Every structure is written in structure tokens, then in C-alpha cells.
Amino acid sequence: MVFSSLLFLFLFLPLVLVGNYLLPFRLRNFFLLLTSLFFYTWGENVYVLLMLLSITVNYAYGRFIHGAPFPLKRFLLATGVAVNLLPLLYYKYFEFFCESLEDLISLPAKSYEIHLPIGISFFTFQAISYLVDIYRNVAKPQNSIINLGLYISLFPQLIAGPIVRYGHIARQLTDRKVNSDLFGKGVERFIIGLSKKVLLANPLGSMADTIFALPAEALTTPVAWLGISSYTLQIYFDFSGYSDMAIGLGKMLGFSFPENFNRPYTALSLRDFWTRWHISLSTWFRDYLYIPLGGNKRGPARTVRNLCLVFLLCGLWHGASWNFLLWGMLHGFFLSVERTYFGTWLQQRSYIIRRLYVVLVVMFCWVFFRAETLTEATDFTAALAGTALSSDIPAKVLLGLTPHFLFVFICAALLATMPTGQTTRNLSARVTSVSPRVFSLTARLLSLFLLLGATTSSLATGVYNPFIYFRF
Amino acid sequence: MATIHMYSRTLLICFLLFLVLPGIIMLSVQEKEISEAEKRPLAELPVLDGSLESIQAFPDRFNTYFNDHFGLRDFFITLHNSAYTRLFNSSPNRNVIWGKDGWLYLASSGNFSDFLGQGITEHETIVRFGNELADRKKWLEQKNIRYLFVPVPNKIQIYPEYLPGHFTARAGVSMLNQLTRHADSRGAEIPLLDLVPTLEAAKQEEQVYYRSDTHWNYAGAYRGYSRIIHHLGNWFPEQRPLTRKQFATHRSKYPGDLASMLHLEKVIEEYDEYPTVQKPCHGKGFSRIVWPYGNEERGGETAAYLAECYNKPLTVFILQDSFGRHPSLFFAQQFGKTYVFPGSDFRDMVPWIEEIHPDLVIDLHVARNVPQALKSHRNVKKAVAKQLFKEAPHTIFNFSPGGSISQPVHPVNASLSPEGIVLAENNDPQLILSLPPLEAFKDLTVHISMSSPENSVAQIFYDNQQAPSFSEKHSHSFTIQKGKNHIYLRAPFPDTTTSIRFDPGNTAGTYTLSDFTIKGFQTEPTGKN
């Protein structure tokens, strides 16, 4: 079940919201845990047992680590992290590892068909952060297994983040309040996130999918650029839209989740980019891997090594394939290069040059993130560079170049590259200060419901499944 | 602050109402079983019967059920599509093109890519289609049955002027154009009737396709029917088409399938002139026939309908897709017995033809369905290839132990003895055969006599001008049985081929190749093949 589905919007969500507010507070966590586990079971079936196992194991480990003396404490942390990583390694990376070995030593290919439980990367990292925070005495272990279970499985952030640190949410598990203002903010955020996903990301994704599915001989250079531009915008609005929905749902339930995106395509360097893109993941890697490895405190060579290692793992976290590995390494490479004279030179360039540098580097890296294979990625890159094999616009691309798509593309490009939030906040404040508050709030309400109506209509059209001829 | 609170509470209430309303409507309104607009049955509420399968499948099935039945579904879809088309003057559905003046076109099923000339582009595919038609004609001729293939042009080909300008500017050569040109070059050998000139001329006088539907209207269908009957005059001189005066028409609304795909069938209105025969022939209208045999090639039943005019000659089979629905009204008044097979193709027809022996078979399909309609029947193909091989006077290539013409054969992953013993070292034995020039020949056929150690799949690869090395794309495979095999087939390679690779099977072991012969007919000096 995804947030942008009719079943979630019109059945699951209203039942959860109504149930949550009708129940007394002391029962709400249990209710939310049950609904979150139901949410997970709906999509993943028996793999909910994996989640239950994770909750139980981390509950035990948390209590053991907290009470243990130092050498044992470290050992327990190491084994706890390993136990958390084991399912992730198996379900996500075992097939990749075996296939790579087969290629390396020319063994006959086998099919493994290992199902990847959705959200496993997210809840594994959340669980690890729980244990590490207890080890570091940043947080106390959770006494209630229900509350811990809720932290690990809470459905708004379960399948696509943000990765919530235990310390951030510990108090909210037992002490949270919701009033109509907070709920209203949650609704606004949810509607905006849903609109980003359905009205912007989906049409852009449709074009990107069409273009990336083309064989190399059908690619033209303009089409390749259209494809990667569409994908660049799609992934931002899709991911940030999902984060907005998660944050909005959290607010509706009384939780405050951290921000996950901060206009990443307005960054002025790759370093800046990673303080704005998937912030919960980049800070997780920074706090739990980069800094323990030494960060940038042990000389330039170590810094480069640490950056490359962290981003290699970051690439692998996103997906088990050489493409993702290469994507991560490319980011590690550019981040390392920015720590040389190039970085100093870049800082002295104009605002436009710096913005353009970041956008082009990130777009180039997205090719490897999106392509299915390395061969596909290199063919696509060659097409971007002007050595495309075709000069005809494929029919499917031509069909997609509608006034609607162009409208969405332009809106998305402007929204993604707009000046910083401060400017728009100033603009918003100026508008509301000159117009009557009632008027501006009414306009805001109507705009939100216009967006909600548009997204719902779009979702409904997506499940309209006509045939030319009768199917009986 | 009070205003903010009021705003927040209003937002909260409206949001919750918005979320619960579709569910409340869904529970209070009676469920529909069929969607007229979508032309399909709607999903039923899934039932849990306690089995593991039903539990595992329940989420997806319930999801489908909910998507088909949630409250205000039709309202949201119509709202979206109406607003979309008004705001953007384009189609909200990628399968439909929104043209000028309310004209809609099918974009999917390869329709649009074919219009751009990006569909079937390889000449050898067109040649293969032509060969299939020639084979059908030949096979039916032996049974004294006439055959006529009638591809109905896609609407986009007859009415391109209503497409968006940047689409029309990119028009290419369609598959139908290529096929009709190829058929023209081969003359009477290929029994194809081109309706494009007829419909292009007719559209100057009247509209021949629906605006909001993929199909031709009754006026277009009448023009097509009339042209077919005139063409049949070459074989059956007594045949005359019905005239328009023999029909009365009444005007009524026509909900186009393309408008339905956009769920705008109530918004986009169109009318048609439905014809009814003023004096029907003495006979019976269409009734369903029960055929006791299944579909030989594809399994399942073949739907068939029979109309009769007792005082008229000829028994005619009409194999058709949905484009045959309108003209069947006219055909039913034309022949003694008119059998109509909707949704069937030639492969389904062979047992019917052998049982009933019609005088004529008309194969009528819209152009985008031609590749499907021209799939071969295994036994027909083999029978015709065998006949052609026996009739062909020229032996172009021959490998046989002790044969008179020896040609170079180079084995790979195998050894080949002069006696024709092929010892396959692994499961990919290959024999590379160099061919003499083939341009002077036509109707090339191949005979292979061999024994195989196992049931297997043999394959013939060929080079061509665009691709000098062998590839799966330019190959033809066929099954072989364990033991002796006699294979007759039309040469799958074009006349520009210089070498072929024959894989006798995909298992290791000992094969015996007794004969590999290619024969053909000399091409006529005028250059017509």
C-alpha cells in the first residue's frame, strides 16, 4: 500500500485517524503499532515476521547494551549491528554478490529470486541508530516493547523515510499532543507532498521511463537530455513528496519528523547538495560512519578515503548493483575533488556557474542511478554527449510531449530551482500582510483542496482501465 | 489567532469529510458489475477461503476491487479528463491522441509508431507477410477455394489532417503502404485488396471513419464492402454490390471507443447513420454456430456466426476483427451462406475450411492487426513449402553425402564427415554454409533431411546487408523430433544472403545430415517477382 493510492487515502487513512483520536492516549501507541504492522503485512505478507523479529531483537539488545560494562557493551553493540545487518545483507545483497562472483569466475548463471522486503534499508538503519544512541548514552533504552515497535514500524516513515533517530522521537512516543493547528499543518504538508508526487513526479516519471526504456539505437541527443532532465526532476519531487507526506502524516498523529529535503537543486557545491538531499540518510552516514572513521580530521588522504568509502556504501544502500556503486563512487569522487584547489576555485565563481556545476554533475550521476545496467548507462551518457545513434524522435516520446507535460516540466523546473525558502517566505509574508487574513487563508484553503481534488482525480484516472473491445 | 484556529478547524473537517465520503458512498450505493465505458467486468469482492493462496492474493485483489468501486469514481475520472482536455487541449490518456476539431486517434497498439514509419521497417518482414499470403492462396487454390486478404487502413492513415501539426509533419511510410507496394510488385501471386484509394476518394464526399472511435463508420464500411464485391467480380461475375437505395438509415448517437477510453463518451457526442435493409433476402440473419472442435493452433473455442440467403450463390467465410462488424451487415445480404468469425485468424480456420469447403475466404482486418492476422498455420506452411520445393526447377545449393553439387560447409563446435555425420561437441553445434548469389531466384525453399539424437530446436541464421554477422533477430527456428526428420520450409533468408548458419539442434550428440537443399524458381526478366 502506498500513500498515493486510493485504498490508502479513502480507507486506511480515515480509519487510522478516526481510531487514533477516538481511543484514549494510553491505547494509541498500541493501536498505531497494530495499524503499522497491518500496513506492512498488506504489502509484504509473511515478511512482517522479519519486522517483529527486528523489534524483539533490538528491544533485548537495547536493554543489554545499556546495562553492560564497557568491553561487553562494545561487543554487544557490534553483534547487535551485525544481527541487524544480516537480513539486509541477505535479502538485498546476496543475489548481487553471487551474480558478481559468477561473472568473475565464469560460473553458469543461476536464478535466485530473493524477495526484497520493502523498507528493510530504512528500518534496519533506524534500529542501528537506536542501538548506537544507547551505546553513546544519547538515549535510554525503551522500556516498552510496544513503543519500540512503534518507533521501528511507524507507517508514515517506514517504507521511504525520513530515517528518524531514536533520540529525536523518544519523548514523543510517550508525550505528544495534537491540536487542530498542528493537525492542520500536517494536512497541508500531506496535500503538498501528495501533489508533488502525483501531479509532478508521476508525469515526469512517465517520460523518463519511456526514454530510459528505449534501445540505444533509438536514442537521440535531445531525447536523452529530455530523459535525464525529467528523471532529475522526477526523483526529487517523488522522494521529497513522499517525505512531505510522511512528515504531514506524522504531524496528524502528533509526531514531529525531521526535514529530509531542503531545495537540493539550489546547492552551490556537491557538499552543499548533500546537506540538502535525503538529509536523514546523509546525516546518518555522517554520524555513524564518516565521523567514527575519522571524518576530515586526519589529513586529506584519510578524508578522501572516508568520503569514498561512505559514498560507496551510500550507493550500495540505494541498490544492489554496480550502477549504484558507481553512482556512489562518483559522488565520493566529486566531493573529494571539491576539497582540493578546485573547491576553492569553485567558491570564487559566479552563482550561476556554481549552480550549473552542481546540477550537471548531479544529472550525470543520476544516469547511473536510473539505468538498469552499466551498458545502458554508458550508452545513455554517450547519447548525452552528442554521439547518439539515431536522429528520429521515437513515437512514444513524441506522444508524451503534450502541452500538459511541458506545463508540468516547466513548473517542476522552476519549483526545484527557485531561490531559497527565505525568499518565498518573505514573499508569502508580504502577501498576507497586505491582504486580509481571512482572504488569504480562504485562498490557501481553496488552493489546497484544488490540489487535493486534482491529485485524487489523477489517481482515479490511473485506475480507469478501458479496452477498445469488450472483455467478457 | 482565532482566524488561524478557524482555518485549521475548517481544514481538518473538510479533509476528514473528503477522506470518508467516497467510502460512505461506496457502502451505500449498489455495486456495478460491468463498466459500460471500460467494456469490462468490474472486480468482485475477494473472498478469503482459508487457503494460503487466498490470503496471499487478498491484498492485491482487494486493491483491484476498491479501485473499481470506490465512491465518486466516475465523477473524479470525468472531472479529470474534462478539465485536462479543456486546459491543455490534449489527451489525458497516452493511448489516445487528441486531434483537431474533436478527432481522436488510437496511439497504442503500434498505431502511431506505424504512422511515423517507425513500426515494421525491415523489408524481409514485408516479404514474409507476402509469402504467407501467397502460401494461403496456393493452399486454398488446391481445394478450389478463392482467397482475398483485405487490410482496412488505420484511421490515422486516412485522416491525418486532424492530427496535431507536429505529428503530421513526421509521417513516414506505414507497414500497410510497404505491404501493398510489395503485393503490387508480385502481382496476382499475392491476393491483397488495397482499400486506401477507395477510402481516400470516398472521404471527399462523406465522412468514412468516426471522429471519436477507432473504426470506420457505416459509410466507410459500405465503401469497403462495395469495393470488395467489385473485386470479386473477377472470380464471380454475377456478384454485384447492394446499392444505397436498398437501405434505409436512421440516425442515432454513437459512443466512440476512444471517447470511452477517456471516459468522455457522454461529453463527446457523435452520431451515425445506421442502415437497415428495406427488403432483406429470403433467409436467416446471423445466428451463433456451435463448433465441436477446439482451436487447433491456439486452443480454445472459435466463435462463429452464420447468415443465409436461400436464393443466392456462394458460401463465404469472413475472418475478421471488429472492423468486420459493420460490413457484415451488407455481406449477410450478399451470399448464400455467410460465415463470420469475429476475433479469429487464419490459423483457427483450417479445420473449418476442410470441413465446410467454402467458395471464398475473405480475410478482413484493420492494418494494425495485420501482423497478428498473418501468423502461419504450421501444416499449411509445410504443405505449401513441400509443393513449391517439388515444383522448383533450379537447385541452388545442395549438401548430401555423395551429392552432385558440393558446397563449402564449415562446422563449429562439431565435426562433419562426408557421410553427413555431425558430432556435436556441446549443445551449440553450427554448420556455416556459403551460398551462391540468390538475386536471380524467387520462392526459395529448403529441404532438410536429418536425424537428431533428441527432441530439439534447429535454427537457421542468415546474414544480410544491414547485419553481416549472425544474430537471433535474423534467424528462424523450428522444432525437430528425435530420430528422422524431413523438413520443408520457405527459405527464411532474403535474396541478398551470402551465407547461413545451420544449427541442427541444441543438444550435444550425433546428428546425421542426409540432405540440405535449396531450390527456387528463376525470377522473370521483367523484374516482377
Range with the poorest average pLDDT among B30-34, B317-321, B481-485, B520-524: B30-34
Residue B412 phi, psi dihedral angles, 5° rounding: -130, 140
Grid cell of A366 as nine digits? 543520476
Quick one: which of A55, A57, A54, A61 has its CA closest to A77?
Answer: A61
Model confidence pLDDT, tens digit, residues B443-477: 999 999 999 998 999 999 998 766 668 888 889 99
A462 vs chain B: nearest CA distance in angstroms?
Answer: 9
Chain-centre distance for alpha carbon B162? 26
Option in A6, A183, A448 nearest B66 (CB) = A6
Residue B168 predicted with pLDDT over 70:
yes
- ipTM field: 0.88
Residue A180 predicted with pLDDT over 80:
yes
Quick one: which of B327, B367, B95 has its CA closest to B218?
Answer: B327
Which residues on A lie below 8 Å from B81 (Cβ)? 461
Q: Do B76 and A456 touch (CB under 8 A)?
A: yes
Q: Residue B289 in 3-state DSSP?
A: strand
Model confidence pLDDT, tens digit, residues B364-381: 999 999 999 999 998 999
Which residues on B lie below 8 Å from A448 (Cβ)? 11
Angle, in degrees to the nearest 10, between helices A145-153 and A120-135 = 130
Q: What is the pLDDT of residue A432?
A: 53
Q: Is A108 on the interface with B (CB under 8 A)?
A: no
A449 vs chain B: nearest CA distance in angstroms?
Answer: 8
Q: Which residues contact A72 (CB under 8 A, 6 or more apart)?
A: none
Option in B11, B23, B115 nearest A184 (CB) = B11
Other CB atoms within a 10 A radius of the CB of residue B284 amount to 14
Q: Is A353 on the interface with B (CB under 8 A)?
A: no
Q: Where are the alpha helices (DSSP H) in B233-315?
A: 257-261
Averaged pLDDT for residues B338-353: 88
Residue A436 predicted with pLDDT over 80:
no
Residue B522 phi, psi dihedral angles, 5° rounding: -70, 140
Q: Give the CB-side neighbour count of residue B206, counting CA atoms within 13 A.
A: 12
B290 vs chain A: nearest CA distance in angstroms?
Answer: 18
Which residues on A lie below 8 Å from B14 (Cβ)? 445, 449
Q: What is the pLDDT of residue B528?
A: 41
Q: Is A341 on the interface with B (CB under 8 A)?
A: no
Q: Is B81 on the interface with A (CB under 8 A)?
A: yes
Q: Is A461 on the interface with B (CB under 8 A)?
A: yes
Q: Is A180 on the interface with B (CB under 8 A)?
A: yes
Q: Is A113 exposed, middle or buried (0-12, 13-18, 19+ CB in 10 A)?
A: exposed
A339 vs chain B: nearest CA distance in angstroms?
Answer: 47
pLDDT confidence bin for B241, thresholds 50/70/90: very high
Angle, in degrees to the nearest 10, between helices B378-391 and B123-141 = 80
Model confidence pLDDT, tens digit, residues B13-65: 999 999 999 999 998 888 888 777 777 888 888 888 888 888 888 999 999 99
Question: Best interface-test mutation with A: which of B1, B3, B8 has the largest number of A CBs within 10 A?
Answer: B8
Q: Do A11 and B40 touch (CB under 8 A)?
A: no
The residue of chain A nearest to residue B66, with distances taken between CA atoms, is A7
Q: Which helix (H) or strand (E) holds B474?
A: none
Which residues on B lie below 8 Å from A445 (Cβ)? 7, 10-11, 14
Separation CA B392–CA B521 (nearest Å): 5
Option in A403, A454, A460 nearest B88 (CB) = A403
Quick one: which of B77, B111, B87 has its CA closest to B97?
Answer: B111
Active-site annotation of A, residues? 318
Separation CA B266–CA B77 (nearest Å): 12
Option in B23, B39, B88 nearest A466 (CB) = B39
Q: What is the pLDDT of residue A137?
A: 87
Q: Which of residues 189-218 of A touch B (CB under 8 A)?
A: 191, 206
Separation CA A327–CA A364 (nearest Å): 9
Q: Do A468 and B4 touch (CB under 8 A)?
A: no
By the 8 A CB rule, do B450 and B511 touch? yes
Beta-strand relationship, B315-320 and B337-342: parallel
pLDDT confidence bin for B402, thresholds 50/70/90: low
Residue B421 phi, psi dihedral angles, 5° rounding: -80, 125
Q: Which of residues 215-254 of A touch B (CB under 8 A)?
A: none
Mean pLDDT in chain B? 89
Q: Do B19 and A9 touch (CB under 8 A)?
A: yes
Q: What DSSP line would sit under B394-461, residue for residue?
A: EEEEEE-TT-SS---EEEESEEE-TT-EEEESSS--EEEEE----TTEEEEEEEEEEEESSSEEEEEE
Q: Is B15 on the interface with A (CB under 8 A)?
A: yes
Separation CA A135–CA B458 (nearest Å): 66
Q: Which of residues 67-106 of A touch B (CB under 8 A)?
A: none
Chain-centre distance for alpha carbon A338? 25
Q: Do A398 and B97 touch (CB under 8 A)?
A: no
Total count of residues recorded for chain B: 529
The residue of chain A nearest to residue B11, with distances taken between CA atoms, is A184
Q: Residue A319 in 3-state DSSP?
A: coil
Q: Residue A89 in 3-state DSSP?
A: helix
Q: What is the pLDDT of residue B406?
A: 53
Q: Which of residues 419-438 of A touch B (CB under 8 A)?
A: 437-438
Averaged pLDDT for residues B415-434: 81
The residue of chain A nearest to residue B106, with distances taken between CA atoms, is A468
A219 vs chain B: nearest CA distance in angstroms?
Answer: 13
Q: Which of residues 306-345 of B touch A (CB under 8 A)?
A: 322
Quick one: which of B497, B519, B247, B274 has its CA closest to B400?
Answer: B519
A281 vs chain B: nearest CA distance in angstroms?
Answer: 31
Q: Is A399 on the interface with B (CB under 8 A)?
A: yes
Q: What percent of chain B has pLDDT over 90?
A: 60
Q: What is the pLDDT of residue A272?
A: 94
Option in A402, A461, A471 nearest B90 (CB) = A402
Q: Is A289 on the interface with B (CB under 8 A)?
A: no
Separation CA A135–CA B57 (nearest Å): 43
Q: Which of residues 100-129 of B touch A (CB under 8 A)?
A: 106-107, 112-113, 115-116, 118
Q: Is A178 on the interface with B (CB under 8 A)?
A: no
Q: Where are the alpha helices (DSSP H) in A388-472?
A: 395-400, 403-417, 421-434, 437-462
Q: What DSSP line would sit under A49-84, residue for residue?
A: HHHHHHHHHHHHHHHHHHHS-HHHHHHHHHHHHHHH
Q: Which residues contact B129 (CB under 8 A, 6 or more apart)?
A: B179, B182, B370, B371, B374
The residue of chain B nearest to residue A448, with distances taken between CA atoms, is B11
Q: What is the pLDDT of residue B78?
A: 87
Q: Do B76 and A404 touch (CB under 8 A)?
A: no
Q: Is B65 on the interface with A (CB under 8 A)?
A: no
Residue B151 predicted with pLDDT over 60:
yes
Q: Which residue has the cell 550428440?
A: B509
Q: Which residue has the cell 467478457?
A: A472
pLDDT confidence bin for A426, thresholds 50/70/90: low
DSSP state of B192: B
Question: Best interface-test mutation with A: which of B1, B11, B257 has the largest number of A CBs within 10 A?
Answer: B11
By the 8 A CB rule, do B48 and B58 touch? yes
Grid cell of B186 as nine digits? 508480385
Q: Nearest 10 degrees: CA dihedral of B420, B424, B425, B428?
A: 140
Option in B22, B81, B88 nearest A10 (CB) = B22
| C-alpha dist (Å) from residue A74 to A77, A79, B397 | 5, 9, 79
Q: Is B372 on the interface with A (CB under 8 A)?
A: no
Q: Is A402 on the interface with B (CB under 8 A)?
A: yes
pLDDT confidence bin for B350, thresholds 50/70/90: confident
Q: Do A466 and B90 touch (CB under 8 A)?
A: no
Q: Do A11 and B66 touch (CB under 8 A)?
A: yes
Model confidence pLDDT, tens digit, residues B273-316: 899 999 999 999 999 987 766 555 556 667 789 999 999 999 99
Q: What is the pLDDT of residue B529?
A: 39
Q: Is A468 on the interface with B (CB under 8 A)?
A: yes
Model confidence pLDDT, tens digit, residues A74-102: 899 999 999 999 999 888 888 888 888 87
Other CB atoms within a 10 A radius of the CB of residue A107 amount to 11
Gyration radius (Cα) of chain A, Å: 24
CB pairs under 8 A between A and B: 162
Q: Is A45 on the interface with B (CB under 8 A)?
A: yes
